[in-house]
Structure formats: C-alpha cells, structure tokens
C-alpha cells in the first residue's frame, strides 16, 4: 500500500493524474515519450517496490 494512501496525504496526485504534470514532463522529453517504463503507474509500482524493500530492511 502506498504511503500517501496510508497517511491520506495524496500530495503527488496533481502530478500523477492523467494529463497531469508528470505526463506533460514525459511528453516534453522525446526520448521518454514512447518508453512504457515512464508511465506514472509503472514509476509508482517501481517506487512502491523500493519502499517495500527499504521498509523491510533491518540493521543486525
């Protein structure tokens, strides 16, 4: 579950909604425009994986 959903902050919503700031940024960069890994959903999925890993990390 995303941290924003847990904490009810939703600060990134204005960036990630369709045709939002994220899409505008990606569309402005020709080398990213056709790259499916730069879709907000995919970026979010990868970030969630990194957060899950970090949250599970413990010092011994």
CA-wise closest residue to 22 among 8, 47, 41, 1: 41
Distance CA 26, CA 11 (A): 19
Confidence of residue 3 (pLDDT cuts 50, 70, 90): low
Token pair, residue 59, equals: 């010092």
pLDDT in tens, 11-43: 777 777 778 887 787 778 877 778 888 777 787
Token pair, residue 13, equals: 């919503």
Supply the pLDDT for residue 32. 75
């Amino acid at each position: 579950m995303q941290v924003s959903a847990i904490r009810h902050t939703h600060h990134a919503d204005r960036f990630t909604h369709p045709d939002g700031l994220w899409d505008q940024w990606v569309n402005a960069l020709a080398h990213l425009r056709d790259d499916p890994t730069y879709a907000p959903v995919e970026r979010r999925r990868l970030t969630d994986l990194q957060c899950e890993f970090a949250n599970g990390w413990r010092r011994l």
